[in-house]
Structure formats: C-alpha cells, structure tokens
Chain A
C-alpha cells in the first residue's frame, strides 16, 4: 500500500518537476533547483488530485522529503477511512 503511494508519487514528481527525484524517496527540496516553491505548489495540487486527499499546510511550509509527503498522503487516507 505505502509502496504503491511512493511509486505513484515518484511518477507524479517526475511529471510535475520535469525530471526524476534525485535521491528517490529521500529527495528534499534543497537537492534540486527545479523543485522550487512553485513546483512545490504544483506537486501538492497534483498529489491532492491524484490521491483525492487534502494535505496539511505544513507539507508546504516545511521542507519535507518525498517520503514525508507519502506518509502525509497515507495519513490523510487513513483519516478518510476512519
């Protein structure tokens, strides 16, 4: 389940940012110039749309890794189910 999310997230990331995540799930914004603040917003749009969830604002204001975002998606899904 979580690996599914990660796979799809990496795909979305490559599509939105225009290149694959430099360090896979461990990639953070500081690792890539192309992952700028606008790309971040685009990524969140895409993630929220693809997984039908709403991510907490902290996902945007902090500097999460892709693994953190995947975890946030999983948590948001959990919330929706319960």
Chain B
C-alpha cells in the first residue's frame, strides 16, 4: 500500500487529488507504516495541512498520529508545564514571513529557543523554514537590500539551517516554494480568510516534505538502488545493438541517460549504494559499462553487478546476500513493467520504480519519491560506499582460514562514550539496524542522549577501520546498571552495522561493557535476545560468548554472565586504538 501511494501520488498532483486520496485512506486505514506521534505548532492555521499528513505519512512508510493544537499557540503549548505535546515523538514548528516583523536575530532566537524547550521535553523538532514573500517592495533588488523582507527571510533560513545541524530536523521550505514558484506557492486570499498562507496546491508539498523528513529520521530511507541496464542506464539493447550501438552520452536520445547516470553517481557520493540487476551476458555487460563511450558510471561505482538470465528477483536476492543489506532497504529501478512486477511479487518489501517512456524524466521521477531522502547526513554517509566496496575487496582476499583472514584485516577499533558529535550516527544506527541487533529497540535520538548523560548507563559507540577502509561508527552498545550497587548491568541494545558483521568486533564492545560493569561494582552482565523477522543471525550470540541462558519466553531469551572471573575476552584480531571509553 505505502509503496503504491509513493509511486502513484506526487506532490505535484495537487490539493484536490490529495484530499480525495486522504479521505479514501481515512476510510481504510492501513497501519503498515512506522507509528509516529506528531504535534503541529504553527503561527498559522494548520488544519488543512494536518488533513494531508496521514496520507503523506503513508506515502513515506509512516502511520502518523496527530496531536492537534489551536493555531498561534506555539509558545503557550511548548512552554506550558503540562501539555499533551510532550507525549509526541516529533513536533513540527512553523512560521510564515508574516511573523518576521523585527530583526533576523529576533526571529532566529525565537525558534531556536523553542527547540530547547522541546528538547527538554524529549520531543524531536522538525523546523520548517520560511517561504520568502511573493511580493517584495524591493523587487528584483531585494537580494542586495538587507532591509527587505526577502533578504531577511533568506538570512533566517540560512541561520536556522545552520543551527539545526545535528540538533533538529530542518525542512527547506524556501526550496519547495522555488520548485512550485513563489506566486503559486502563496495564496493571500487564503491568508486573509483563514490565516493559512499557502495556496491549496502547496500543501501536498509541505505535507510530503514533513513526512519524508521524519521517515528518513526513522531509518526508512533506502540504502541501495538497483538499476537495470538496457533502457535504464542506456538506450537500446546491448545484446542486439552491441557496445557501439547503445545510446548514452551524446545526442537527444543519449544525453538524458548520461544525466540520469550523473544523478545516480551523486547519490553514491552521499552514501547510497548502487548495484546492477540485468538480463544480459555478464562479460558483455561489464565491457559495456567499462568501455561504452559516454558512460558516466564506471564499474567501481557499483557495489555489485549481476548480469545473467535468472529472474530479477533472484538477482536481487544475490545482491542482498552479497552486500548484507535487507531487501527492504532496496529501490529497484527498471524500464520494464513486467520486471518490476516480477520483483515486487517475489519480494513485496522491495520498493520498485517503473521508469516512464522518456529518459529525460528518469531522474525527476526517482527524486520525487520519498525513498531516497537523505535525512540528516552524517560523515559516515559519505564513507559508506567505500566501506562496502572494501567489504567486497576483503571478501575476495579471504582465505579458507578465518583467523588468518581476520588477522590480515589489521582492524583497529575505537570504543567511546556517545557524545554530541556521534549522537546523530548512533541514533541513525538504532533506527536502521535490523540484522545484527539483539533487541531491535528503536530509541529516539532524544532518548539516546538522555542515556548518554545518565551515569547509570553505559552508552558507547564502536568505530572500526581496517587496512581497506575506515568504516566509521558501526556499533552501539547501551547498558543500564539495575538494582543496587553490586547488582547487574543489563544490555539494552547491542548492534553492529551489516558492513562489519563477521569481524568479531562485538567481542570488544561486550568486553568494554563488562569492564564498565565491574567498575560499577556489578557482579553480573545480563543480555537479552528479542527475535524479529530479521535478526536470527544473532540468536546464539550470548551463549557463544559464555553467557548462560536464564529464562526463555515468547518475548525472547535472557542470558547472564558471571563477572567474578573478569570480563569476556576481546577479539585477538581487533586492536583498540586507545582505551578512551573513559568508563
């Protein structure tokens, strides 16, 4: 359902289409998305926007529950000691250029101050930027007139975005308005009638942007784009036309394919993986990618290339196994509707885009979907591509002897307490990690920060590099000292990014947690395994590390480790850069 809505409905379809669809959705509520509770606090009437949010949420893979408040009550609601907004996961904050009466500083301080109030309540902020006015007395000279409203609005947006980095989510409304066109974006009649500044047709853009941002924050963004070759990366059919006959790079039927490739390459630069699933002769396909004149993407840009005659569903399964990413984090892009249908029938969790006839529209179509929203980019996003390629390289050099292989990787780990620079990434891993995740508890960023600040909690990240790549932060362990001194320390969360599964780096995380527990005077370390559809991989992790099964129920298994003999051993193949975890 969610996938269909995403493909079938775009913000450009307009208010009428969206309200009709929203009503249909309200009649048949599908609750397959991630549940999020959202408050909407604005200086304008949000009823019309709120009406579209469940649909925008469904499109992005969320099931939003809205907490509603009267308009104009931003401070009153946020600063009141007892308000139901505190029960929300997110609060959307929004103003309009009508509020910008004073200086840039005053407006920026107003909203940033509200972020602090929301943070104290443990609610994550989604700040909407401001749209510039459609009419400015300074006209086209506004850009060099700091006293003009347009100039101040842009300045406010830039400053809010800068403050937001690593702290709150920011929606660039200025850019949305630019896409639609400022004169179409505003509706002064609606402003005077009901204090709703936007044109009806702008509301789907806003609703979608909010939902897509929250969905990305909840780890819904796809991480790998799998493309077809013939008709997708180039025009023509390689098997029939030959390397010289396919069209890419030049001419009106070749340039659009090259530009689509440029868009895909830009995605890889911010951490999205690319792979190929193609029905082609493998050698010919590899040669075409490497040698066809006009190709932008090169063989190295792909994490994995499958070209053979199996059904595409099997090709995707191979890619998934090779790069250790679940199919639900895949986007499949193909110009052939039959192939898209085959993949989705076999793997309903794969998000599939069937391309339109004109290659000139490929990038626009893919970019309009909520699936590749970057969320808050962390530096790890920029290194991910290299890291997965290193994974493939490492596997190629693997020998039959696992110990020898691990020793040959020359791994260095850094385990340190979660701090302000690593909080974003830790929260991202907690939101996204499925396979190597003992409990799959989805704590919000605010909750993680609270744990990191609480002396009763051990909250650490693991950074790992080897001789092929720096993988960045790839592991998280959260544990809480429960009971009195001398009691137990219970591991709430233990996870590893799939990039580094099989490296035994978890040994070092467990050892660090155990040492912390010993320093607390604890005698026991407790671990829990809560099975999900995806984490069978770690079912035997605790027994494999000397933990003893203590209880087992429908909800999972509880294991205990007696610390009287010291901490469990570190991996002999992972050197710790410095014992800087400070615990």
Chain A residues with a Cβ under 8 A of chain B: 37-38, 41-42, 44-46, 49, 57, 60
Q: Are A41 and B16 in contact (CB under 8 A)?
A: no
Supposing A45-B15, A45-B200 touch, asked if A60 and B47 sit within 8 A by C-beta, the answer is no
Residues on B lying within 8 angstroms of A by beta carbon are 15-16, 19, 45, 47-48, 189-190, 192-194, 196, 200
Q: Which residue of B lies closest to A41 (CB)?
A: B194
CA–CA, A49 to B196, complex, Å?
18
Instruction: Give, as a whole number of angstroms, the nearest-CB distance from A35 to chain B.
Output: 15
Q: Interface majority SS on A: helix, strand, loop or mixed? A: helix
Q: A45-B200, A57-B189, A60-B193 are in contact. Are A38 and B16 (CB under 8 A)?
A: no
Bound complex: CA A40 to CA B29 (Å)? 26
**Contact status of A38 and B194, CB under 8 A, knowing A45-B15, A46-B16, A57-B189:** yes
For B45, B192, B200, the residue with the greatest tally of chain A CB atoms inside 10 Å of its CB is B200
Question: A74: shortest Cβ distance to chain B, in Å?
Answer: 20
Tell me if B15 and A37 are in contact (CB < 8 A): no
A49 vs B199: C-alpha distance when bound (angstroms): 12
Residue of A with least CB distance to B47: A38
Nearest-neighbor residue (CB-CB) of B194 within chain A: A41
Q: In the bound complex, how far is the Cα of B310 from the Cα of A16, in angstroms?
A: 51
In the assembled complex, which residues on chain A have CB atoms less than 8 Å from the CB atom of B200?
A: 45, 49
- In the assembly, what is the distance between CA of A27 and CA of B569, in Å? 80
B16 nearest CB neighbor, chain A only: A49
Distance between B59 CB and nearest chain A CB, rounded to angstroms: 21
Give the complex CA separation of A38 and B192 in angstroms.
Answer: 13
What distance in Å separates the Cβ of A59 from its nearest Cβ neighbour in chain B? 10
Contact A37 B194 (CB under 8 A): yes
Return B135 CB to nearest CB of chain A, in Å.
18
Closest Cβ–Cβ distance, residue B380 to chain A (whole Å): 45
Apart from A41-B193, A45-B15, 10 more pairs, CB < 8 Å: A38-B48, A41-B48, A41-B190, A41-B194, A41-B196, A42-B48, A45-B200, A49-B16, A57-B193, A60-B193
Most-contacted residue by chain B among A38, A44, A45, A57 (CB, 10 A) = A45
Closest to B15 in A: A45
A79 to B131, CA, bound (A): 34
Residues of B contacting A45 in the complex (Cβ-Cβ under 8 angstroms): 15, 200
Shortest beta-carbon contacts, A-B, top 3: A41-B194, A45-B200, A38-B47
- How far, in Å, is A54 (CB) from chain B's closest CB? 8
Complex Cα gap A45–B15 (Å): 9
A residues less than 8 Å from B194 (CB atoms): 37-38, 41
Q: In the bound complex, what is the Cα–Cα distance between A60 and B45 (angstroms)?
A: 17
A5 to chain B, nearest CB (A): 18
List 18 A-B pairs, Cβ < 8 Å. A37-B194, A38-B45, A38-B47, A38-B48, A41-B190, A41-B193, A41-B194, A41-B196, A42-B19, A42-B48, A44-B193, A45-B200, A46-B16, A49-B200, A57-B189, A57-B192, A57-B193, A60-B193
What distance in Å separates the Cβ of A44 from its nearest Cβ neighbour in chain B?
Answer: 8
By a CB distance below 8 angstroms, the chain B residues around A37 are: 194
- Per the bound structure, the CA–CA distance linking A6 and B192 in Å amounts to 27
In the assembled complex, which residues on chain A have CB atoms less than 8 Å from the CB atom of B189?
57
Minimum C-beta distance from A45 to chain B (A): 5
In the complex, the chain B residue whose C-beta lies closest to that of A55 is: B189
A41-B19 Cα distance, complex, nearest whole Å = 14
Nearest Cβ in chain A — how far from B40, in angstroms? 15
User: Smallest Cβ distance from B50 to chain A, in angstroms?
Assistant: 11
Output the least CB separation between B262 and chain A (Å).
38
